[in-house]
Amino acid sequence: MKKFAFLIIAIVVLASCSSQKKEQVAEEPEAVVYTVDNLYENAESLVNKEVVVKGTVMHVCKESGARCFIMGSNEDMIIRVEAGEDIGAFTQEQMGSDLEITGVFTEVTTEAEAHNPDHGEEQVEDAETEAAHETIVEAQEATEIVYFIKGLKAKELAPDPQEETSDEG
């Protein structure tokens, strides 16, 4: 019995060590950090490339946190980020936080990739969610080509103290 317990503990420790090791290896030299606005300006040249983008989380998919929408200078500058297996899930608490996302900038080419929050599996339980969905759909409809990011890594940025004292809106 002791052997059995020891074996299980050893497997769990080894598994968690190997994942930590992988995270350490993932440290990379600093890349160009785009804003959502910059990303759209350079969309053609960046498509299918790994990019780093930062923006404010304006909506997180409620049911699973499988995707979030980050915003640039205004509500018309929104991009969807799919958490995928690498990020796992976004949390509702991340709404309003600034995130730095590393991921593959991708053009929506199939119906499966075009996650439309109004027709998806996400339930609408309040006016705020409904309004966020409308904003996202309007922003998507305003563009000829819809892009999204296949997320690989997400880092929460500390609030910018300069921004806190300035006028916004």
Partner 1 sequence: MKIRKFLRNWHRDLGYFSVGILVIYCISGIYLNHRHDFNPDYKIFYSEFKVDIEAKNSYTREEISNILSDLEREVIYKKHYIANNGNIKVFIESGEVEINPTTGEGAMRYLQRRALVYEMNHLHKATIIKTWKWISDVLAVIILFVTISGLFILKGKYGLKGRGWWVTLLGILVPLFFMILYI
* Binding stretches for partner 1 (CB under 8 A): 1, 4, 8, 11-12, 15-16, 18-19, 56, 62-66, 74-76, 83, 85-86, 88-89, 92-93, 95-97, 123, 125-128, 131, 135, 138, 159, 163-169
Nearest distance in Å: CB 109, partner 1:
26
CB 160 within 8 A of CB 99: no
Nearest distance in Å: CB 111, partner 1:
22
2/29 with CB nearer partner 1: 2
56/116 with CB nearer partner 1: 56
46/71 with CB nearer partner 1: 71
107/121 with CB nearer partner 1: 121
Nearest distance in Å: CB 93, partner 1:
6
Please choose, from the candidates 100, 68, 98, 62, the residue with its C-alpha nearest in 3D space to the C-alpha of residue 83: 68
- Which residues in 77-97 are b (16+ Cβ under 10 Å) and which e? bbbbbbbbeebeebeeebbeb
Nearest distance in Å: CB 128, partner 1:
5
Please choose, from the candidates 117, 27, 102, 106, the residue with its C-alpha nearest in 3D space to the C-alpha of residue 67: 117
DSSP 117-135: TTTSS----SHHHHHHHHH
